[in-house]
Each structure stands twice: as C-alpha cells, then as structure tokens.
Amino acid sequence: MPRYKLTIEYDGGPFSGWQRQDNAPSIQEALEKAAARLDQAEVTVQGAGRTDSGVHALGQVAHIDLAKDLAEDKVRDALNYYLKPNPIAVLDAERVEDDFHARFSATQRHYLYRIIDRRVPLTLDRGQVWRVPRALDADAMHQAAQFLVGTHDFNTFRDAQCQADSPVKSIDRVAVARYGEEVQLTIEARSFLHRQVRSITGSLVEVGVGKWTPKDFKSALDAADRSRCGPVAPPDGLYLTAVDYPGKSGA
C-alpha cells in the first residue's frame, strides 16, 4: 500500500482537537472521512502532533496508507474536495517510504503563539490570536524565555492530564518579538508536554505586563511545581507551524 505524507493547514476553532473523539468533531476524523471517500476503504490518519481544541496549524504533518496508487497531486486535490466545507486544507501530498511515520520520525516541532495587546476588541483576528488588554514588554518576555533553552524538568509548565512518561524535555530555541501591535512567541523542540507551550506563554505574559520579573519566571521554572505556573494561555493564538524530519526542515 503506498504511503503519503500530508502537510495540512487548519482552523482549529470548530474542532475538539486533532484526535478523534466519540462525540465531538475532530480534524483527524474529518481527514479520515475524506480519505475513505477517496480510497473507497477505511483509512487511518496518523498525525505528527495532537493539537488541542481550538489550536490551529499552518504545517501539521500526517501520513496515510491508501489501497490505490495515485499521483500526489490527485491525492491532495481529492482530499481537499472531500474535506469541504471543513476549514482544513491539504497543502501537499508526498509519496514516502513505508517506514516513514508522521509522529515517530519527526525530529523537530515548531510552534507559534500570537498575541495582540490592545484594549479594543478584535474583529478580523478574533479566534486567531489572544487579545491581552494591557501593553506587553516583549523584550522582557524574550529575556525570560531564554531560561527555557536547554534540558529541564518542565513540571511547572506541564498540564495535570499530561500522559508523558517524564516531565524532562529539551527546548532548542525560543524567541519573543514584537511586530506592530502583535507579539509573537516562536518555540522549537523535538517534542512538547501537554499544553506546555500555552502554559509557558501565559507565564511569559505575566512578565510582559510587569507582574513577574524574568528572574521570577526562572524561579517558577526551577521549582518544577505546577502551582507556580501562571494562567494558561487560551488556544486561540497557538499554531503548529512546521514539523521537521531527517534530511529536511520546515516540513
């Protein structure tokens, strides 16, 4: 059975998350229904990351095995046809080796968190960013974020429902920068704990509004204690932007 790697974009707002649910719509289920119509057989979609309810993607990666041997552009275009009217788009379909696995072959995951700091309500960006009604000091947030780089016990930023075997993770790069009225956090690691990025973002906003200093943020990280985490950021502003694989980056 030929295997295809899919690069996918979606608005997570209408969905309960990536993972298939019994009583709620999911991105995985929508893709599997589209693939089943294409292949005229049951198809399982394996994703690189299980994004939460409301979290978006610009470059989620998944793989499928089809009974039919189809051209790559045919797979992409047919899936997009059958996905309508869901806010999901297959950007690319690529034939890959049978041992490729969207989740287990991944070497790096890239996330973006978008914040707009203004008092005025959002219109065009509603549901796509987190509106913080106070001015943020992006430089202080960036300074604090550098304490995350390296290998740490991330229990402070680990959701209580996280099923990972260990709270120890390695973050390779993190940055906070302002672009006009928007503050963006970008972060890269091989893997993340459940709601780790949203937990980190919420605590960095505490630095941005002046409630915490960068040293306070480091102290919270070093405590490895969930009670030291700041408010968890909402899902609206979080995007899985890319997944890397051996020999390729920015998939």
By annotation, the residues acting in catalysis are 52
* Residues in the chain, overall count: 251
Taking Cα atoms as reference points, which of 60, 61, 43 lies closest to residue 2?
43
Phi/psi at 127 (5° precision)? 85, -5
Range 87-90 contact pairs with CB under 8 angstroms and sequence separation of 24 or more: 87/10, 87/11, 87/13, 87/14, 88/8, 88/9, 88/10, 88/11, 88/27, 88/30, 88/31, 89/8, 89/9, 89/10, 90/6, 90/7, 90/8
Give the whole-angstrom CA distance, residue 35 versus residue 58: 20
- Please state whether the peptide bond connecting residue 246 to the residue before it is cis, i.e. omega within 30 degrees of 0: no
């920068």: which residue's tokens? 177
Taking Cα atoms as reference points, which of 209, 75, 216, 193 lies closest to residue 138?
209
The tokens describing 37, both together, are 């119509």
Nearest 5°: the CA angle 222, 50, 227 is 25
